[in-house]
Structure 1
Amino acid sequence: MPPAKKGSRRRIVRRLLGGARRRLRRAAGRVRRVWRRSLQLQVVSSTLVISMTVVAVLGVFLFQSITTSVVDQREKSALSDARSDTAAIANLLKAHQDSGESPKPGQIVKPPVDQAMDAIKPTEERRYDVIVLNEREPSGSRATEGVSRLSIPADLRDRMDTNNTKFRWGEEFRVSGRYQVGFNPTGTPKLAMVTAVVVSSGGYQVYHFFPLTEEEATLTAMRQMLVLVGIGLVVLLAAIASLVTRQVVTPVRLARQAAERLAAGKLDERLKVRGEDDLARLATSFNEMAANLALKIHQLEELSQVQRQFVSDVSHELRTPLTTVRMAADLIHDAREDFDPMVSRSAELMQAQLERFESMLADLLEISRYDAGAATLDLEPTDIRDVVLRAVADSESLAERHATRFDLRLPNEPCMAEIDSRRVERILRNLLFNAIEHGEGRDIVVTVGADRDAVAVAVRDHGVGLKPGEEQMVFDRFWRADPSRARTIGGTGLGLAISREDASLHGGWLQAWGLPGEGSQFRLTLPRDSSIELKGSPLSLEPPEMQIRRTWRGQITPVLAPATGDGAFHGE
């Protein structure tokens, strides 16, 4: 066969084996999941295994006891019959020897061995075979029907011949055991009893063979009965365990389902209380907990609504006096050159603080709109590169004051997406301001990526970074990584919180990564089509140089390629 065909067949076999292994692993995984999720299955399986073990041990012990009892009973009966027959044979042989009479001419006299065989039980009453063996005169040996002296097993003859010299009249020697009697090696085993009859003219060996057919049939039937009873008992125990477990698991399962619905926001979910047992008390406690939780949540919602309304009302009410103050401050600021230096400086400070106050008021109004659910999007197809360039241009003056440069990494092709350019530009501006404030004067890398479903922008700084667990906290309102650190560029502490709300309003993600001393990276991912759910990001959340560094240290395998087949990194 050509080597190419052999290689092709090997590949086909490997693919078939690989597919079978995968299907087997999937099936095993499904079984493990079912096992882990079902308390009833675990209890029933454990009960089944334990009951099988107990029934098997008890069955073996019981069968051995029954077998020993049956065989012992048979041995006692066989020994009684063997002694009776041996005594009869010995008495006839001894009587014939003591009489010393010789047969008259023409008289037919049976040999003493034949007379001895006639003296034992008749055939219709006897259920065993007998062999009378005379070693000196083989012609003097006799046997009942069905056996011959050739039927005697060799090992039984050897045992008898070895011990035969020990016999004396009146003494008894018995060899017992199960032997295959006859020329058929698959014949029914028989219980052998061997005794010796010693007379002056010689010795005779009397072999009794008792068939164990009935005992074997009894034990076989008993074994089958034990197996059937054991199987029935195991099944019955499993059914009882399933029934009992179901009585306990069903209320627990209902409680779990009710807890899941309660966690999903259905605060009117309650359990039915039946009886006064522990499960009923559990249902009562659950209902009380749900009622208290619903009350507390309702109170918190009312308080939150009041707070949101208060913030919204105050913010709107402040607009009018702020506008008036702003107009007066603008007049004073424009005429500051006519004042003395102290008043001029005061006018500049008032102008700066008014600008900050306006920014804070705008952020509070924006947050109040998000809380009220009144925020809307003005979507239009936009090249995300243009939005990035506008945000960078707005941040240039601040970057120059902090001696920071921008490193832009933009693709050559347009990255079109349906977005609200004003909100996205505000997100990027907040990210750039945050990077400038915490970047410690080092370069800021702005990367844009796109695939067929999403566009992404990553802002990377090399400043103080984030501690473990701060990746989510950084988006909380008014949160600071270091409360003692003063803000260098002003702001309200709401920028990142508003940015995440803007990203969520687009159906996108705003995520953070950081390490102490290694800087941080914020990644904004937006869907190209606002009607499609976002599934992945074209950019990795962790910077590529950090992945390479960890690879050199032998910690992980580098992730330099997209994490999914569609070229998308899933949210990390």
Structure 2
Amino acid sequence: MAEPRGTELELTAAAAEWHAYPQPLWRTHPKYWPDIWRRSIQARIVTGTLLMSTVVLLLVGWVMMSQVTDGVLESRRLSAQAEAFAQLASLTRNINAADSTAVNQQLSQLVLGSNRPGLYDVVLSPIGNSGSNATRRTGLVESDSVPQVLQSSVNSNDSKLWDTYTVIKYTDGRTAPGLVIGSQLRVDSTRDKYAVYFLFPLTAQQETLDVVQRALVTAGLLLVVLLGAVAWLVTRQVVTPVRMARRIAERLAAGKLEERMQVRGTDDLARLAVSFNKMASNLQRQIRRLEDLSRLQRRFVSDVSHELRTPLTTVRMAADLLHENRDEFDPMARRSVELLQNELNRFEELLADLLEISRFDAGAAALDLEDVDLRDIVSRVLENHETLLERKGCEVQLDMPEPCRAQVDARRIERILRNLIGNAIEHSEGLPILISTAYDDDAAAVAVRDHGVGFRAEEAEMVFSRFWRADPARARTTGGTGLGLSIALEDARLHGGRLDAWGSPGEGAYFRLTIPRRPDVALAGSPLPARPADAVRVITEKSLVDVGAPYQKLTGGEEQ
């Protein structure tokens, strides 16, 4: 079962590495763009540079366009005022020089004479009841091109020129932006007053401003693209070594200790790569050394365990002979023989556990699967503990309403339950023990609950450690080796399952074994809760220890 798990890990790592390096933005679905934004420093820097440069260019373009527009229009306004002033003076002289009886007849000719086709048009309208009420104009210009506000200003003041910007309308439907300059015209001979308006089209100026605006927009877009490309190139030079370091670190974490970064140049990034490679080399040496030490330790334990079996067999034969004839000895010798027999039993259990641990360490443990009912295994274990139950005066309550079948190695599952139930009996302080079984479509579970001394939250993390005991000074009835829960944990892992522990001082302990019902099923939860239902105290995160599934995160069906 280890091989499929390893394959799954490799596929998961490959998928994670693929997601760590997103495709180009234009080849990525828009729904993944937020993920690219969160993962990629380069994307955030380039995007930020583009946004800031766009804002700056918009402000600069607006300021420049405003200054250019003001300059062009102000220049045209000054020249138009000079032209209008000159034409107004000429028109005044001509009207005053004309015969007073023929002023009205000559006004149209004088207005037409002051016109400069293509440069400006003239509109002349009487003020009040002066002379004829007809409005005279040149060209195709409409008289309503003059804004009412300008007309009011001209009619109210005869001492100055007034001007404003407007839209000049023509009788043929054309319109054009323009400048209107107006003033009063007084006829000395008749005392009549007329309003004269000079309408200067600003078509050429508008075309000039359009050209300037297009040039600014084009230059701004090119500058934004250029800044984006520069930001992309600069960040790429920085981000690429960082990504390489991350990729190498992930491979080192996956066990590929020979991976190193490429060193190019002598800059800061190159020195970072050199330091990273030195760190990787030191880690490799330390890990190799620890692996060698661990290998030597496992080999030593295995060799010692095997070598001790031969002298132990001889000692066992002699001890059995003495134990069979213990009634012939005096009381002191008889007691010594019984102690010798008990300690030899414990020694044999310790050797058997050490040999089993060495098999797990060497990866030589294998499963012999068969379809069994977990309730039958629980019953066999309870039968083996009948004597201890009677001695402790412990009541066992069973919550096993339905058959709980699974394909498991019955010998290993029985060993797990033997350890869990034996520990519960030993530490129950004579209080009842509850054993529960449950199953769902994918998993089967067995939980053992006692109400004894329990253990503290900080001790829950060490409960599966080898040779660890919550209270080394406490008298032991069963004579355990300190390896039972460690072996139980390895057996659970070998099945692809998990072993959870919960405890609280004064409230007892709770152990839950969860295993897949079939070898091709990956656990996604447990049919039994992660802590007992009768636990009343506040449960901290350290009070619940999940050590049975180190290669996958199990979610769903969990009671937190």
TM-score of the two chains, using structure 2 as the length reference:
0.82
**Which shows bigger deviation, 237-246 or 222-231?**
222-231
The code of the aligned residue for 1:154 comes to Q
Compared CA separation, residues 371 and 152, structure 1 to 2 (3 A): closer
**C-alpha distance after superposition, 1:166-217 (max 9, x if no partner):** x3xxx42323233555689993332111122334323332211112222233
Taking the aligned partners of 2:43 and 2:330, their CA distance within structure 1 comes to 88
**Residue in structure 1 matched with residue 412 of structure 2 by the alignment:** 423
Deviation at 1:313, TM superposition (A): 1.7
Paired residues of 2:145 and 2:167 also in contact (CA < 8 A): no
**Residue in structure 2 matched with residue 326 of structure 1 by the alignment:** 316
* 1:329-340 matches, cutoff 5 A: 329-340=319-330
**Residue in structure 1 matched with residue 182 of structure 2 by the alignment:** 194
Taking the aligned partners of 1:142 and 1:199, their CA distance within structure 2 comes to 16
The code of the aligned residue for 1:61 comes to V
Deviation at 1:409, TM superposition (A): 1.4
**Residue in structure 1 matched with residue 290 of structure 2 by the alignment:** 300
Deviation at 1:339, TM superposition (A): 3.5
> Aligned with 2:149: secondary structure?
helix
**C-alpha distance after superposition, 1:270-325 (max 9, x if no partner):** 12111111221122122212221111111111111111121122222222222233
Taking the aligned partners of 1:221 and 1:466, their CA distance within structure 2 comes to 84
**Which shows bigger deviation, 242-251 or 224-233?**
224-233
CA RMSD of aligned residues (A): 3.2
Q: Structure 2: which 5+ runs fail to align? A: 1-28, 540-554
Answering whether residue 479 of structure 2 is matched by residue 490 of structure 1, we say yes
The code of the aligned residue for 2:438 comes to G
The code of the aligned residue for 1:495 comes to G
**Residue in structure 2 matched with residue 24 of structure 1 by the alignment:** none
Q: Structure 1: which 5+ runs fail to align? A: 1-26, 104-108, 552-566
Counterpart pick for 2:270 among 280, 283, 295? 280
Aligned residues: 513
**Residue in structure 2 matched with residue 11 of structure 1 by the alignment:** none
* 1:57-456 matches, cutoff 5 A: 57-96=59-98, 111-114=105-108, 116-117=110-111, 119-120=113-114, 122-123=116-117, 126-135=118-127, 136-138=130-132, 142-147=136-141, 149=143, 151-161=145-155, 163-164=156-157, 167=158, 171-179=159-167, 181=169, 187-200=175-188, 201-413=191-403, 415-456=404-445
The code of the aligned residue for 2:289 comes to Q
Taking the aligned partners of 1:486 and 1:226, their CA distance within structure 2 comes to 91
Paired residues of 2:104 and 2:132 also in contact (CA < 8 A): no
The code of the aligned residue for 1:253 comes to R
**C-alpha distance after superposition, 1:360-414 (max 9, x if no partner):** 222112112222223233333322221111112222322333332211111333x
Taking the aligned partners of 1:84 and 1:445, their CA distance within structure 2 comes to 115
Compared CA separation, residues 58 and 480, structure 1 to 2 (3 A): farther
> Aligned with 1:93: secondary structure?
helix
Taking the aligned partners of 1:186 and 1:550, their CA distance within structure 2 comes to 85
**C-alpha distance after superposition, 1:477-518 (max 9, x if no partner):** 123345665655431211111111112222322222344554
Deviation at 1:475, TM superposition (A): 1.5
**Residue in structure 2 matched with residue 542 of structure 1 by the alignment:** 531
Counterpart pick for 1:499 among 488, 491, 495? 488
**C-alpha distance after superposition, 1:228-259 (max 9, x if no partner):** 33233222222222222222222221221111
Compared CA separation, residues 178 and 485, structure 1 to 2 (3 A): farther
Taking the aligned partners of 1:571 and 1:146, their CA distance within structure 2 comes to 89
Paired residues of 1:447 and 1:459 also in contact (CA < 8 A): yes
> Aligned with 2:51: secondary structure?
helix
Answering whether residue 521 of structure 2 is matched by residue 521 of structure 1, we say no
Answering whether residue 26 of structure 2 is matched by residue 37 of structure 1, we say no
The code of the aligned residue for 1:401 comes to R
Deviation at 1:426, TM superposition (A): 0.8
The code of the aligned residue for 1:474 comes to V
Taking the aligned partners of 1:483 and 1:55, their CA distance within structure 2 comes to 76
Taking the aligned partners of 1:360 and 1:375, their CA distance within structure 2 comes to 18
**C-alpha distance after superposition, 1:135-176 (max 9, x if no partner):** 201357532112354554333222322x22xx3xxx423232
Paired residues of 2:141 and 2:168 also in contact (CA < 8 A): no
Taking the aligned partners of 1:340 and 1:190, their CA distance within structure 2 comes to 135
Paired residues of 2:445 and 2:512 also in contact (CA < 8 A): yes
Compared CA separation, residues 231 and 148, structure 1 to 2 (3 A): closer
Deviation at 1:465, TM superposition (A): 4.1
The code of the aligned residue for 1:137 comes to G
The code of the aligned residue for 2:59 comes to V
Taking the aligned partners of 2:507 and 2:92, their CA distance within structure 1 comes to 111
Taking the aligned partners of 1:317 and 1:509, their CA distance within structure 2 comes to 33
Compared CA separation, residues 378 and 205, structure 1 to 2 (3 A): closer
Deviation at 1:116, TM superposition (A): 3.6
The code of the aligned residue for 2:529 comes to S
Counterpart pick for 2:467 among 468, 473, 478? 478
Compared CA separation, residues 448 and 160, structure 1 to 2 (3 A): same
Taking the aligned partners of 1:472 and 1:29, their CA distance within structure 2 comes to 42
Paired residues of 2:112 and 2:138 also in contact (CA < 8 A): no
Deviation at 1:115, TM superposition (A): 5.5
> Aligned with 2:75: secondary structure?
helix
Percent identity over paired residues: 49
Paired residues of 2:163 and 2:179 also in contact (CA < 8 A): no
Compared CA separation, residues 111 and 389, structure 1 to 2 (3 A): same
Paired residues of 1:147 and 1:182 also in contact (CA < 8 A): yes
The code of the aligned residue for 1:508 comes to G
Taking the aligned partners of 2:150 and 2:307, their CA distance within structure 1 comes to 120
Compared CA separation, residues 131 and 531, structure 1 to 2 (3 A): closer
Taking the aligned partners of 2:474 and 2:169, their CA distance within structure 1 comes to 104
> Aligned with 2:496: secondary structure?
coil
**C-alpha distance after superposition, 1:4-56 (max 9, x if no partner):** xxxxxxxxxxxxxxxxxxxxxxx887433222222222222222222222222
**Which shows bigger deviation, 530-539 or 235-244?**
530-539
The code of the aligned residue for 1:172 comes to K
The code of the aligned residue for 1:80 comes to A
Compared CA separation, residues 120 and 49, structure 1 to 2 (3 A): same
Compared CA separation, residues 471 and 214, structure 1 to 2 (3 A): farther
